[in-house]
Amino acid sequence: MIQNSQDNEASHKGEVGRGLYNPDVLNCIANLSNDEVFTPPELANKVLDLLPQELFSNPNTTFLDPFTKSGVFLREIVKRLDRGLEAKIPDRQERIDHILHKQVFGIAITELTSLLARRSVYCSKKANSKFSISKFDTESGNIIYKNIKHTWENGKCKFCGASQSVYDRGSEAEQYAYMFIHTNNPNIFFPNMKFDVIVGNPPYQMSDGGGMQTESSSGSAIPLYQKFVTQAKQLGPKYLCMIIPSRWFSGGRGLDAFRDEMLRDSRIANIVDYSDSRECFPGVDIAGGVCYFMWNREYAGLCQVTNIENSKTYQSKRFLNEFPVFVRHAIAVDIIKKVLSKRERMMDEVVYSSKPFGFRSFETGHKQKKLSDIELLGSSGITYVDKKEVSTNSHLIDKYKVIMSKASAEHAGQTDNEGRKRIVSRIEVLSPNQICSETYLLLSSFEIKERAENMVSYVKTRFFRFLLSTILLTQNIAKDKYQFVPLQDFSHPWTDEMLYKKYGLTQEEIAFIESMIRPME
């Protein structure tokens, strides 16, 4: 892609001049990882459609993509400006020169993407090349990149939180020290510039060196996208549009403060949310889905929320801070309000924290049972430990315990072929002298086995699993995800019909739940 011949660059330049500029080439760029996802042109245009379109008819409007990769946002902006300014600047070359020199700017995330972006926007990887459609004095033009270093403090980068043990690896390897967030003053990149619109698709996360790396997982990672949003606001744009993972809806690692800030911000005028990232980025699986939003500096009011789920579109206008977390579906909001109106205790009050008996997921006991041993259920099956090794909740050993796998059945928001989710992968009752590692969540304990089995019947209902799913945007199910799940009387078993009647759900609400959650045998 980058190493084009001069003939190819000249041909490409000619296509632009004849109005035959074909954007489909950027659809062919493979997504390298879930950390840095390239944006298809169709999606970039959907994001740009959120903006007031008169911006593209104003010769003074300025645009910045501060984390450009393929250059697709900048290129599509140029195309819109080219059409929008035709009456004001009739000469085509004069118009292109004005747009590229005065209106469109970018900061690349790597040297490779700087070349890609310039090739997309200038039709040449060097802005001062004879093949560039507008001549600049420098190779960079207005799409800049500088290879900078992390700033290490106590083993972490003070700007992005990267692990020194992972990323302090010499100049021959990519550092992933993204320019835009590695400064306290983002105005230094384009001094004396004021940007009307900041738009783009930032890097999502960065490995922190923890966890286990597999074919389907890069191991433990820290989120980065929230830092780009916060930094962009420092530049004081009129409009801010970004594509980011939807995991911030419920917070979590490094995202709680960002979630609270976003939910309180009445300047977010639009959110378009994809529960399954594959409906937004074909072939890219991002746990919890993705969203894009439009922030308007001059706006204060209800947010237009659009959710796309199983190719169906749901829309509502509401304040984002109705609850401590953001619930993506308007119908789910109505159901939750009915549940909360009962003023019952919620299950997050009784579900135990991780490591219910003190054993990590990777810890196992011995294979041969001794006289005083109890069973330990973990990720590798059943092993045996001495009762004295139980460091927490040892008083529960002799009770019946309801446990559930901490990992959801699907990859967070992903669905089966019918568009429905199971949510819970394993639920069972542990007998006295049986315990579990942190692979499982301990939901509750009982003196009587029948009551434990009645709780299992509740967990298996679609109603329970639907309420759990409303804020489950990561693969791991944590204690706080039960904050909308009411605690029940477990002197008898439960069915969906009993729960629908108890909470006064309408036929529309029942149909919605059953379209989202599949039965669990």
Q: Can you give the pLDDT at residue 172?
A: 67
**Would you say residue 335 lies in a domain?**
no
200 & 260 share domain: yes
**CATH number, position 185:** 3.40.50.150
Side chain identity at residue 401, one-letter code: K
Q: Which helix (H) or strand (E) holds 173?
A: none
SS3 at position 502: helix
Which residues, including other chains, have CB under 8 Å from residue 83's CB and lie 6 or more apart? 56
The three-state secondary structure class of 258 is: helix
Could you tell me if 394 and 281 lie in one domain? no
Q: Span 82-109, mean pLDDT?
A: 97
Query: Looking at residue 473, what is its pLDDT?
Result: 85
Query: Is residue 340 situated within a structural domain?
Result: no
- Is pLDDT at 504 greater than 80 in this prediction? yes
CA distances, 484 to each of 12, 248, 333, 451, 519 (Å): 55, 18, 10, 22, 20
| Residue 424: Cβ-neighbour burial (10 angstroms; 0-12, 13-18, 19+) | buried
Bridge partners of 106, per DSSP, are: 65, 143
- Is residue 384 packed enough to be buried (19+ CB in 10 Å), middle (13-18) or exposed (0-12)? middle
CA neighbours closer than 13 Å in the CB half-sphere of residue 101 = 14
In the predicted structure, residue 20 carries a pLDDT above the cut 70:
no
pLDDT in tens, 169-181: 776 677 889 999 9
List C-alpha distances in Å: 428 to 53, 70, 348, 400: 56, 49, 19, 10
Residues 255, 222 contacting (CB under 8 angstroms): no
Strand bridging mode 221-223 / 205-207? antiparallel
Question: Do residues 395 and 262 both lie within one domain?
Answer: no
CB 16 within 8 A of CB 133: yes
* Structural domain for 181, as ranges: 6-208+220-328
CA-based radius of gyration for the chain? 27
Q: Do 185 and 65 fall into the same domain? A: yes
E strands in 455-506: none
**Count of the separate structural domains present in the chain:** 2
> Are residues 353 and 480 part of one domain?
yes
Q: Is 467 helix (H, G, I), strand (E, B) or coil?
A: helix
Residue pointed to by tokens 């590798």: 380
More confident residue, 211 or 56: 56
CB distance 287 to 258 below 8 Å: no
Distance CA 28, CA 306 (A): 28
**Cα–Cα distance, 349 to 482 (Å, whole number):** 8
pLDDT top residue among 117 and 219? 117
Q: Is the sign of the CA dihedral 59, 64, 65, 70 positive or negative?
A: positive
pTM score: 0.86
SS3 196: coil
Whole-number percent of the chain with pLDDT over 70: 89
339 inside domain: no
**457 exposed, middle or buried (CB, 10 Å; 0-12, 13-18, 19+)?**
middle
* Residue 521 domain flag: no
pLDDT on residue 150: 94
- Mean pLDDT over residues 64-69, rounded? 96
Using pLDDT thresholds of 50, 70 and 90, give the confidence band for residue 404. very high
Q: Decide if 41 is inside a domain.
A: yes
Q: Cα-flanking dihedrals φ and ψ of residue 72, to 5°? A: -65, -40
Q: Are residues 307 and 414 in the same domain?
A: no
Q: What is each CA distance from 421 to 415, 427, 460, 517, 519, in whole angstroms?
A: 5, 15, 12, 5, 9
357, 386 in Cβ contact below 8 A? no
Number of H helices, E strands in the chain: 13, 19
Gap between the Cα atoms of 367 and 26, Å rounded: 55
Mean pLDDT calculated for residue range 264-285:
93
Phi then psi dihedrals of residue 223, to 5 deg: -70, 145
Domain check: are 390 and 430 in the same one?
yes
Q: Looking at the structure, do residues 196 and 272 belong to the same domain, yes or no?
A: yes
**Dihedral pair phi/psi, residue 488, rounded to 5°:** -115, 170
Of 328, 363, 386, the residue that ends a domain is 328
Determine which of 29-38, 83-92, 119-128, 265-274 has the lowest per-residue pLDDT on average.
29-38
Question: Quick count: other Cβ atoms within 10 Å of Cβ 350?
Answer: 14
Q: pLDDT tens-digit profile of 97-114?
A: 999 999 999 999 999 999
Q: What is the per-residue DSSP string for 289-314?
A: -EEEEEEETT--S-EEEEEEETTEEE
Mean residue pLDDT of the chain comes to 89
pLDDT digits (tens, 9 = 90+) for 478-487: 999 999 999 9
Classify residue 153: in a domain, yes or no.
Answer: yes
pLDDT bracket for residue 13 (50, 70, 90) = very low
The residue from 299, 328, 357 where one domain ends is 328
In a domain, 487, yes or no: yes
Q: Which helix H or strand E contains 143, and what residues bound it?
A: strand 143-144
Compute the distance between CA of residue 302 and CA of residue 269 in angstroms, rounded to an integer. Answer: 7
Q: Both tokens of residue 369? A: 């049972």
With b meaning 16 or more CB within 10 Å and e meaning fewer, what string describes 493-520?
Answer: bbebebbbeebebeeebbebbbebbbeb
- Chain centroid to Cα 247, Å, comes to 4
- Determine the Cα–Cα distance for residues 360 and 379; give it in Å rounded to an integer: 10
For residues 41-58, average pLDDT:
97
How is residue 73 written in tokens?
């946002």
Beta bridge partners of 435: 376
Domain-ending residue, one of 272, 294, 328: 328
- What is the spatial distance between Cα 167 and Cα 150, in angstroms, rounded to a whole number? 8
Is 251 in the same domain as 145? yes
Q: Is the same domain home to 35 and 178?
A: yes
pLDDT at 115 over 90: yes
pLDDT computed for residue 476 by the predictor: 86
Provide, rounded to the nearest whole percent, the portion of the chain with pLDDT above 90.
74
> Does some domain include residue 403?
yes
Q: Judge whether 309 and 275 are in contact, CB under 8 Å.
A: yes
The predicted pLDDT at position 3 comes to: 35
Tell me: pLDDT of 187 over 60. Answer: yes
Q: Are residues 355 and 253 in the same domain?
A: no
- Give the integer Cα–Cα distance in Å for 49 and 475: 32
Same domain, 375 and 315: no
